[in-house]
């Protein structure tokens, strides 16, 4: 049965992947609600924007009256809440915007969803879901292999790992997670939460590690690596994540949390070197791309290791990632090489990649 799904932040990196998947691979109708900040780009949705199952609303989730209007007009069955400020470096430089969007915005959306849901009846009310999409960064970090005895089994983030956020970004997301759970407990609003590992793939705004490295490499700019580059992340191809999110939105149990990870733990420096190796193969030049690697001062409070235990979503909902890191990173590099018009339009002359650190 076709559902009407409201996707907040649907012009962003992960949100646009969700929208494309819903339009291309399902029968559901999509309402894309996005403020269109610097990281939101409708060019990421040109392949689906002509669909009669897609519509766009330029709305700030902090604007209660506009959010109310969207609920009243479109009568969604499911909310998939992805709208968020997400770059750690920006949160360190200016935390206020992260509190406003990620905390106040989530509160506003929850209140308007509650008001809308409370007046629904019958199957429409019984089937409503509010799916909040979050990050593994709320858990803090995990022991690094360099910090433990050889042969020691390293822990993973599970759905019951205590929260210990390290940055203004992760603290704001932790706060929004807890608001969502409180609205379930107090008001019985049918909510569920997912926490994901680091995403990568096509249409990624070039402030994050992988697109930053690709475009700096092509431009002959330094490839900045924080500290020693030994920080470990669990990498998840964005289209695998989009599939998981839709599965959870449609089939997840109310009140549950599902961790979503790619089973691809990699040190940042190894990610950078892998990209350089692929570029040496597909777009060779006289010098090796790895010669552009530059080590810079580490980020304050930089988490050393993230790693997701995704066994719950695999066991209960049948999701597993389709891409390995090796296949996904090659697809990503080749996509940027083949879509210069997209990223040049996104950058619009304002990109200064040499100022951005290569973290996550």
Residue 146 has a CB neighbour count (10 Å cut-off) of 10
DSSP 161: P
Q: What are phi and psi of 296, to 5 degrees?
A: -125, 165
Q: Is 169 a catalytic residue?
A: yes
Q: Is 65 a catalytic residue?
A: no
What is the rounded distance in angstroms from the CA atom of residue 298 to the CA atom of residue 357?
Answer: 8
SS3 279: helix
User: Structure tokens of 219?
Assistant: 């431009």
Q: Which residues contact 357 (CB under 8 A, 6 or more apart)?
A: 89, 224, 226, 296, 299
What is the rounded distance in angstroms from the CA atom of residue 169 to the CA atom of residue 175?
Answer: 10
Please tell me which residue in 116, 169, 203, 336 is annotated as part of the active site.
Answer: 169
Q: Is 336 a catalytic residue?
A: no
Closest CA to 131 of 1, 15, 41: 15
Please tell me which residue in 137, 265, 303, 323 is annotated as part of the active site.
Answer: 137
Please tell me which residue in 77, 85, 89, 136 is annotated as part of the active site.
Answer: 136
Catalytic residues: 136-137, 169
């Amino acid at each position: 049965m076709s559902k009407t799904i409201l996707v907040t932040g649907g012009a962003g990196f992960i949100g646009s992947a969700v929208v494309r998947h819903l339009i291309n691979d399902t029968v559901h109708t999509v309402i894309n609600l996005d403020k269109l900040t610097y990281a939101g780009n409708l060019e990421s949705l040109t392949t689906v924007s002509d669909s009669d199952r897609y519509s766009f609303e330029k709305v700030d989730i902090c604007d209660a009256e506009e959010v109310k209007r969207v609920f009243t007009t479109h009568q969604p069955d499911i909310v998939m809440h992805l709208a968020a400020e997400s770059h750690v470096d920006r949160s360190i430089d200016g935390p206020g915007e992260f509190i406003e969007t990620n905390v106040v915005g989530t509160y506003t959306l929850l209140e308007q969803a509650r008001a809308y849901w409370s007046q629904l009846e019958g199957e429409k009310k019984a089937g409503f879901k509010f799916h909040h999409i979050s990050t593994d960064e709320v858990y803090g970090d995990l022991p690094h292999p360099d910090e433990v005895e050889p042969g020691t089994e390293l822990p993973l983030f599970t759905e019951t790992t205590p929260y210990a956020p390290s940055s203004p970004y992760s603290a704001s997301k932790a706060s929004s997670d807890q608001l969502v759970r409180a609205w379930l407990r107090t008001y019985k609003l049918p909510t569920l939460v997912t926490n994901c590992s680091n995403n990568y793939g096509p249409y990624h705004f070039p402030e994050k590690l992988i697109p930053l490295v690709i475009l700096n490499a092509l431009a002959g700019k330094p490839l900045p690596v924080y500290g020693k580059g030994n920080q470990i992340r669990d990498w998840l191809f964005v289209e695998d994540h989009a599939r998981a999110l839709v599965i959870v939105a449609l089939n997840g149990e109310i009140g549950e949390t599902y961790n979503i990870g790619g089973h691809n733990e990699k040190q940042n420096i190894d990610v950078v070197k892998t990209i350089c190796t692929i570029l040496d193969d597909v777009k060779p030049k006289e010098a090796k791309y790895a010669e552009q690697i530059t080590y810079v001062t580490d980020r304050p409070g930089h988490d050393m290791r993230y790693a997701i235990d995704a066994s719950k979503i695999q066991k209960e909902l049948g999701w597993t990632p389709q891409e390995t890191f090796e296949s996904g990173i090659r697809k990503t590099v080749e996509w940027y090489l083949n879509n210069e018009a997209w990223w040049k339009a996104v950058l619009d002359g304002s990109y200064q990649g040499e100022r951005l650190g290569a973290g996550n």
